[in-house]
Structure 1
Amino acid sequence: MNILVLGNSFDAHALHMRDALTKAGTAVNYLDTRLFPTQIQISWQPDIQAGCLVLPGGHQLNLQDIKSVFWRNFSAPYIPNLPEGQQTIAFSDATSVLRTLLQAKPVRWVNSWQAYQFHKEKPLQLSQVKLLGVEIPATLISNNPQQVIEFCKIQPKTIFKPVYGGTHTQFVSDFHLEPHRLNLVLRLSPVTFQEYIPGTNIRSYVIGEDIYAAEIRSNSLDFREDEKAQLIPVELPDLVQQQCLAISKALMLEWTAIDWRLKPTGEYVFLEANPSPMFLHFEQQTKFPITQSLVNLLLVN
């Protein structure tokens, strides 16, 4: 049986997982979707539910021989320059085949196409988590300047970030709320505004039924900007561990990193669940066996 790593050898996490799985005694290959259709061939027969991959170098894999797939990153297919109409058709056809591959064959995806699509809808993700009874920050997603101003007025401090992601969190200032500037920005894109939660950053990794958590000590508003952030292993309360498992299930995640804010009062506030988080630095600093848990998840029958 084979395991695929959806990604490429330039990604340290993909390379690490390939090496860990190889050490565990299983055959591992990269599925770098940028190489389809120029260097990768995909065949699929829906009437008999069978297909195969031919990877760069000519190595062929029957889809029924693939046990599981570790999703590190997914890239759009690369289509060489063609006349505009042909380019659009070729790209759409290649994308359709890739999406079929990601959904049609019932192998174990860690994580699935559906989970990744859900992650793109972060406002919906927050709503789903709130329905579980988990506390989330007061949040406004809007491109309505008046509603943004009113929301920010009732919060002691407010942060803002893109709805989809892609850049770091910032505090809202009078500069950001200047009417002319605010109107210009919100005509281009809606923005996520949230109450600032004072307290401590907590990151919890959920891998199947395994949960590993650490406090992230940092003076930065967004700890991802702080290379000197300290990671201190912590034991989550039973209720929060149950919430971690419930969130993973509700968001269709086989594994995830959930970011929390721990208030001085001891309450945990959900911020986000990531479907393909970086983990090597976290594992090195905390000594948690994240890699082994991932290997176990991918090899389980």
Structure 2
Amino acid sequence: MNILILGDAKDAHAAHLHFALTKAGATVEYLNTRLFPTQLQLSWHPHTQKGCLQLPSGQRLDLEDIKSVYWRSFNGVSIPEFGDSFQQDIAFHDANSTVRSLFQACPAHWVNSWQAYEFHKDKPLQLSLAQQLGVTIPATVISNNPQVITEFTKSYEKVIFKPVYGGSHARLVTEYHLEYERMRNALRFSPVTLQEYIPGTNIRSYVIGESVYSAEIRTAAVDFRDDSQAQLIPVELPAEIKQQCLAIAKAFMLQWTAIDWRHQPTGEYVFLEANPSPMFLYFEQQTGFPITEALIQLLIS
């Protein structure tokens, strides 16, 4: 069976899964979109729904012969510089449109899909949908209005801030951040997400198909990703929270995901976010959870 990994061998998680899938008997290739259109060739016939990939190695794969695609990382396309900015823009948008179309037209089993990837980029909507599912979320505001932000921070004992889109870790809001002129100038460039700080412990839950694997992440850091010494302790979630994990994955169109929670001293679980392409090697090594095996089964079954 033909399986593609979106990404390249420089990524440790992509390389790990390439090795594991090959060992399981699959024919595995990397699909690195940064090589399109210079080294990777894509074709699609909308009137017949037929298409194919010509990989840099020279191998040709018809879309219908690809069983599944593992979405590790999507890095866009790469257009050579040729001196004409107008034509450069046209070429860039043409290449992007081709890739986006082919991703959505390819009938393979995607883990995860283009739609899930696009939804993940709109994190405020992710929070809103989680709440509609009956999941508890932190008090949150997304704004570039200094007055709104000031009022929000005064409403809670501690507040954290982070980018709306992601890409940087959460930090506690301090008086330095709230200095009016500094804040006003910063908010002219971009809005920010602020949330009530939730006391408690970090829980990460990996959802793979119908399986849920969870561990407590013990750390004193505001964002556990800042702590390389964080301890991972396997935990059994309450049945209700397990069902919430499955409901979140389904609503977010995710075949697999890592969901981050804060477990409060009161016992309540507060949803923070769901990642459509999480890192898992360290988590698997520390907990012994069979994440690689579960992913293999998801991709080859």
TM over 0.5: yes
Q: Which residue of 1 aligns with 2:231?
A: 230
Q: Deviations over 1:118-151 (max 9, x none)?
A: 0000000000000001000000111111111111
Tell whether 2:39 aligns with 1:45: no
Q: CA deviation at 1:106?
A: 1.8
| Residue 179 (structure 1) aligns with | 180
Q: Could you say which residue in structure 2 is the equivalent of 1:246?
A: 247
Give the conservation status (yes or no) of the 8 Å contact 2:203–2:263. yes
Q: Which runs of 4+ in 1 moved over 6 A?
A: none
**Alignment-derived partner of residue 139 in structure 1:** 140
Counterpart residue type for residue 274 of structure 2:
A
Quick check: 1:24 aligned with 2:34? no
Match of 1:65 in 2: 65
Q: Does 1:156 align with 2:157?
A: yes
- Cα pair 2:63 2:107 within 8 Å, conserved: no
RMSD: 0.7
CA distance in 1, matches of 2:160, 2:170: 7
Residue 188 (structure 1) shift: 1.2
Alignment of 1:1-301 (within 5 A): 1-82=1-82, 83-300=84-301
Paired residue secondary structure (2:205): strand
Supply the AA of the counterpart residue of 1:107: A
Instruction: Give me the whole-angstrom Cα distance separating, in 1, the residues matched to 2:269 and 2:59.
Output: 48
C-alpha deviation, 1:85, in angstroms: 1.5
CA distance in 2, matches of 1:299, 1:57: 23
* Count of aligned residue pairs for this structure pair: 300
1:173-230 per-residue CA deviation (whole Å, 9 max, x = no partner) reads 1111111111111111110000000000000000000100000001111110111000
TM-score by length of 2: 0.99
> Match of 1:257, SS?
strand
* Identical columns (%): 66
Q: Deviations for 1:137-177, whole angstroms, at most 9, x for unmatched residues?
A: 00011111111111110101100000001111110011111
> How far 1:107 sits from its partner (Å)?
1.2
Gaps of at least 5 residues in structure 1 are none
Deviation digits for residues 249-270 of structure 1 (CA, Å, limit 9, x no counterpart): 1111000000000000110000
What is the CA–CA distance in structure 2 between the aligned matches of 1:145 and 1:161, rounded to whole Å? 15
Instruction: Report SS of the residue matched to 1:87.
Output: helix
Give, in whole Å, the separation in 2 of the partners of 1:297 and 1:57. 27
Cα distance in 2 between the residues matched to 1:295 and 1:258 = 20
| Distance in 1 (alpha carbons) for counterparts of 2:89 and 2:144 | 31
Cα distance in 2 for partners of 1:238, 1:87 equals 53
Structure 2 stretches lacking a partner, 5+ long? none
